[in-house]
Amino acid sequence: MADNSKIEWTDATWNPITGCSVTSGGCRLCYAMKLAGGRLKNHPSRAGLTIDTKNGPVWTGEVRLNHEWLDQPIRWGRQRQVFVCAHSDLFHPDVPDDWIDTIMGVMWACLYGRNEQDGHIFQVLTKRAQRMRDYFSTDRREAWARAAVNHGGGTDPDGIWDQVMNFDGPHPRIWLGVSVEDQAAADERVPLLMDTPAAVRWVSCEPQLGEIDLARWLNPVGVQCKDVCPDSFYVIADEIETVKDGEETVPLCPHCGERAGWTAYDRGIDWVVQGFESGIGARPGLPAWARVLRDQCAAAGVPYLFKQWGEWAPGEVAGPNERAIDAAYWFNGKWDIRRVGKAREDDHIDDEPDMFLVGKKAAGRTLDGEIHDGYPA
């Protein structure tokens, strides 16, 4: 775990659980997996959690509870934004509910005696959105309160117990989010996030591997047809056809034409983070993909943070190439990566590559000349 994290959207990482398994294409260059099978492969918290392959270390699927790190956030005095289980997934199928209860209890212990504008902010991120929704859809408060007392009871165990048991709704300093890498992942995970009780819901589009449209969830006023359509489907209210059923107005799903149900969300996604892939062998991302989410968030009034270009940068960031360099052309929905020579004055703009391999540091994180560092209020 690391205080003073280099991750652009957090202050510290807290890893009470380590280990994971590859679940989608977005996991291919997982930095936690590479670290667990590289520099930290003999550390007690990581030993045996990866296997070596010709493509580098890969998670075995084993997960490990690190008891010595459970109370770390309680010992941090200064307020921090804390990325929870940065080197695992809190809702991995092999993480027992009682481990999650314990970690939630520690969060509550950290927040005891503070008002809703004070104390750490805990940032939870998962690819297992179904498990997260199911977990938070059950009443776990007694288990959280018990863990909070055990780990942070101090001289006032009754006070901690009462705060957890009597708090009205989800805590505003425990943020729940999903990680999505493309539209298919967003269509699968974001509807489940929207069904999850949370004070702050956020989406991390990183590493983004294709265009993602989040508009329907940034302001999701409309219908959900999850009992008829194979996929949950949201649409904006003014696009919905309805039929009368006695006194009731019933919406029709524009996807399948069948009767659906009204959504009842009081808000959409509260925060969007976006970034492209980094590491050896990283895949590029198109500037247009970044602009889509930036503009959708701006239109909906949702905070937006652009984390990084990754290893590749667009021409306006990379500048004219002064030497031979790897370049990427987006053509027919695929990347064509080739070596190009030094830029010439007579090069035509239509022949310019979409992205250049310049390295993460050189690529930076400016989008159209601006840094986007939006956070939820």
Query: What tens digit of pLDDT does each residue of 186-212 get?
Result: 999 998 999 999 999 999 999 999 999
Question: Alpha helices of 138-181 — where are they, by DSSP H?
Answer: 141-152, 157-166
Q: Which of 232, 264, 296 is the last residue of a domain?
A: 264
Position 348 in a domain: no
Q: Which of 200, 235, 264 is the last residue of a domain?
A: 264
Mean pLDDT of 119-139: 96
Verify that 150 and 65 share a domain, yes or no: yes
Beta carbons within 8 Å of 301's beta carbon, 6+ residues apart: none
Verify that 54 and 201 share a domain, yes or no: yes
Verify that 229 and 113 share a domain, yes or no: no
Least confident of 92-96, 147-151, 225-229, 250-254: 225-229
Dihedral class, residue 152 (left if φ above 0, else alpha if ψ from -120 to 50, else beta) = alpha
Verify that 237 and 250 share a domain, yes or no: yes
Verify that 260 and 367 share a domain, yes or no: no
Position 95 in a domain: yes
Q: What is the pLDDT of residue 375?
A: 96
Least confident of 88-92, 231-235, 287-291, 344-348: 344-348
Instruction: Count how many domains the chain has.
Output: 2
Mean pLDDT of the chain: 89
Verify that 163 and 183 share a domain, yes or no: yes
- Report whether pLDDT(227) > 90: no
Residues 1-9: contacts with CB within 8 Å, 24+ apart? 1/69, 1/72, 1/86, 3/76, 3/80, 5/83, 5/86, 7/83, 7/86, 8/275, 8/305, 8/307, 8/308, 8/365, 8/373, 9/81, 9/123, 9/273, 9/305, 9/307, 9/375
Q: What is the pLDDT of residue 143?
A: 97
Verify that 57 and 83 share a domain, yes or no: yes
Model confidence at 350, pLDDT cuts 50, 70, 90, reads very low
Token duo for residue 348: 């035509």
Position 377 in a domain: no
Q: Which residues of 196-227 are buried (b: 16+ CB within 10 A; e: fewer)?
A: bebebbbbbbbbbbbebebbbbbbbbbbbbbe
Verify that 176 and 260 share a domain, yes or no: no
Of 266 and 231, the structure prediction assigns the larger pLDDT to 266
Verify that 229 and 208 share a domain, yes or no: no
Q: What is the pLDDT of residue 103?
A: 98
Of 229 and 138, the structure prediction assigns the larger pLDDT to 138
Model confidence at 47, pLDDT cuts 50, 70, 90, reads very high
Position 333 in a domain: no
Q: What is the pLDDT of residue 15?
A: 97
What gap in Å lies between CA 232 and CA 14, rounded to an integer? 33
Verify that 198 and 215 share a domain, yes or no: yes
Residue 231 class from Cβ within 10 Å (0-12 exposed, 13-18 middle, 19+ buried)? exposed
Position 327 in a domain: no
Q: Which of 230, 264, 298 is the last residue of a domain?
A: 264
Give percent of the chain with pLDDT exceeding 70.
Answer: 88
Domain that holds residue 95: 12-219+266-311+362-371
Verify that 258 and 277 share a domain, yes or no: no
Q: What is the pLDDT of residue 347?
A: 47
Q: What is the pLDDT of residue 99?
A: 98
Token duo for residue 96: 């027992």
Verify that 244 and 95 share a domain, yes or no: no
- For residue range 58-113, what is the model confidence (pLDDT) as tens digits? 999 999 999 999 999 999 988 999 999 999 999 999 999 999 999 999 999 998 87
* 203, 209, 212, 218: CA torsion to nearest 10: 10
Mean pLDDT of 299-324: 88
